[in-house]
Amino acid sequence: MNGLSILVVEDQAEAADSMVLLLEKLGCKPVVVYEGKHAIKIASTFRVDVVFLDIRLPDIDGFEVARQLRRMPEHAKTLVVAITGYGQEGDIQRFKEVGIDLHFLKPVGPETIKQVLTSWEQSLTNRRGRFADSGTTGTSA
């Protein structure tokens, strides 16, 4: 996971800070934002490899963030992972519709994050471009 650029979009500072510490420990380069509009602004200025995205945000929701990310050519193949409390059938359909590749219910353990990033890094190395299990859902232990 050496050098993966990761955008963490999470409005709860404690959860965001914990994620950043984990990602730094894994050798990634995380940037954290606490609002959806700020995430869009950051994503428009530089390309990230992965976005970890909360859905319930104080300004625009994570569904809209994902939708806008997918409209940007530089983020058409970015791995977008929702980490949220949303998990009803209707939510799962919306994840797919807006281009979210994976979703996990909070809380997500560090091993799950590591597995996702390892798989993504391998897919980048193999030049497949999108996560091999695109559209799958996950649960955390």
Per-residue model confidence as pLDDT tens digits over 36-48: 999 999 999 989 9
Confidence (pLDDT) at 127:
57
Domain 5-125 has CATH 3.40.50.2000: no
Q: How far is CA 12 from CA 47, 70, 90, 118, 132, in A?
A: 24, 24, 24, 26, 30
What are the residue ranges spanned by the domains of the chain? 5-125
* H/E stretch holding 82: strand 79-84
| Tokens 């232990």, located at residue | 141
CB-CB contact of 79 with 51 (8 Å)? yes
Please report, in angstroms and rounded to a whole number, the separation of the first and last CA atoms in the chain: 22
- The stretches in the chain having pLDDT less than 50 are 128-137, 139-141
Instruction: Give the residue carrying structure tokens 């809209």.
Output: 64
Check residue 12 and give its pLDDT.
96
pTM (2 d.p.): 0.87
Q: Which residues contact 25 (CB under 8 A, 6 or more apart)?
A: none
Report pLDDT for 1.
66
pLDDT at 25 (0 to 100): 97
- Cβ neighbours for 134, distance < 8 A, ≥ 6 positions apart: 101
Per-residue pLDDT of 8-32, as tens digits, reads 999 999 999 999 999 999 999 999 9
Do 49 and 59 form a contact (C-beta atoms < 8 A)? no
Q: Do the Cβ atoms of 43 and 80 come closer than 8 Å?
A: no
Per the CB < 8 A criterion, the answer to whether 53 and 9 are in contact is yes
